[in-house]
Amino acid sequence: MSDTSAIRPLAAADLARIVEIDGATSGRPRRAFYEKRFAELASDAGSTLALAAERGGRVIGFAFAHLLDGEFGGSAKVGVLDAVGVAQEFRGGGVATALQAHLERELQRRGVQELRTQADWTEHGLASFFSSSGFALAPRLVLVRDVEEPTLDEFDWTELPVRSMTEGDLPALVRIDKKHTGRDRSSYYRRKAHEALRQSGVRVSLVAEIDAQFAGFLMARVDLGDFGRTEPTAVLDTLGVDPAFAGKQVGRALLEQLLNNLRSLRVERVLTEVEWDHFDLLRFLRRGGFKLSQRLTFQKKLA
């Protein structure tokens, strides 16, 4: 069956249908996850993208993506495919392929040259779709940590003051990031701060201070997850420490406070994604209890 679907931007009125299509696949409604995606679309259309496939006036498929300008110091603007779904009776008819083709054209129009996504290694159908769509395995690792797992030493993180992040911290975040990357990424951090402080129902982004000076920060969020993760999961997006406070255990204090907060929220796991050759960061996360997850990362060049 060839695809003759009309592709259009998703609208707020499509929410219930999207939840219905996704629930038929995941086995559990993820309304909160998609409510957040629609809120992001309404508040920041420049860095989000959502499409619907429609046939006979009825939505039969959808795709969500967002734009990144460099977690953990990355320098390229990339697109991230968050979710894609097709109604059961229309699968195998080219709907997902049509959605992705439109998505890629729009991302290229916005200056994006690479599309990324993830899948669990057991999701063979999804991995097969990515492979047939031109994706390849990416040189990034997805790490995971059980929140309840105890620390491996007796480091007293309570000696370093750590507090919740506020919007007033944005200039300090940008200043620390520029020391590491040499770039002014104000727009990236402005968007991430908006996501962490306004759109997220659970605030877990943190700031560490030493002698009343801004020493470091951690940006994280709690979500129902992408591509079938139905349990609440925390995602660690980025971590930065002022070089002036190197060796002061700032990063460790931030991570320990994050874990403590997540335990009180009954969040079971925290995930993060790291380039395979960011060895210092990988060593830090390994010491903090992170392990290699069962998720694979994929990428596709768009230009």
pLDDT tens, position by position, 65-116: 988 765 544 556 789 998 899 999 998 889 999 999 999 999 999 888 899 9
What is the model's pLDDT at position 143? 96
Band of pLDDT at residue 192, cut at 50, 70 and 90: confident
Handedness of CA 107, 141, 73, 242 (dihedral sign): positive
40 neighbors 32 (Cβ within 8 angstroms): no
Any idea which of 19-33, 168-182, 183-197, 244-258 has the lowest mean pLDDT? 183-197
Higher pLDDT, 241 or 2: 241
239 neighbors 225 (Cβ within 8 angstroms): no
Band of pLDDT at residue 152, cut at 50, 70 and 90: low
Shared domain for 108 and 147, answered yes or no, is no
Instruction: Compute the mean pLDDT over every residue in the chain, rounded to the nearest whole number.
Output: 86
Last residue of a domain, one of 77, 105, 138: 138
Average pLDDT over residues 241-268: 91
Q: What domain range is 77 assigned to?
A: 6-138
Whether the per-residue pLDDT at 199 is higher than 60: the answer is: no
β partners of residue 116: 80, 299
Whether the per-residue pLDDT at 299 is higher than 80: the answer is: yes
d(CA 78, CA 83): 16
d(CA 210, CA 244): 11
Answer yes or no: is 299 within a domain: no
Any idea which of 22-36, 65-79, 165-179 has the lowest mean pLDDT? 65-79
Shared domain for 49 and 115, answered yes or no, is yes
Shared domain for 100 and 240, answered yes or no, is no
Shared domain for 41 and 75, answered yes or no, is yes
Any idea which of 119-128, 146-155, 169-178, 269-278 has the lowest mean pLDDT? 146-155
Shared domain for 229 and 106, answered yes or no, is no
Whether the per-residue pLDDT at 1 is higher than 90: the answer is: no
Average pLDDT over residues 115-141: 92
Answer yes or no: is 279 within a domain: yes
40 neighbors 198 (Cβ within 8 angstroms): no
Average pLDDT over residues 117-142: 92
Whether the per-residue pLDDT at 251 is higher than 90: the answer is: yes
Shared domain for 244 and 120, answered yes or no, is no
**Tokens at residue 35, please?**
């409510």
Band of pLDDT at residue 157, cut at 50, 70 and 90: low
Shared domain for 150 and 130, answered yes or no, is no
What is the model's pLDDT at position 60? 96
Total domain count, the chain: 2
Shared domain for 265 and 194, answered yes or no, is yes
**Over pLDDT 70: what percentage of the chain?**
89
Band of pLDDT at residue 20, cut at 50, 70 and 90: very high
Shared domain for 122 and 79, answered yes or no, is yes
Answer yes or no: is 300 within a domain: no
Whether the per-residue pLDDT at 241 is higher than 90: the answer is: yes
Shared domain for 37 and 109, answered yes or no, is yes
Residues 6 or more apart in contact with residue 210 via CB below 8 angstroms: 160, 161, 245, 248, 250
How long is the chain? 303
Give the CATH number of the domain where residue 42 resides. 3.40.630.30
Average pLDDT over residues 165-191: 85
Any idea which of 74-78, 86-90, 122-126, 157-161 has the lowest mean pLDDT? 74-78
What is the model's pLDDT at position 227? 43
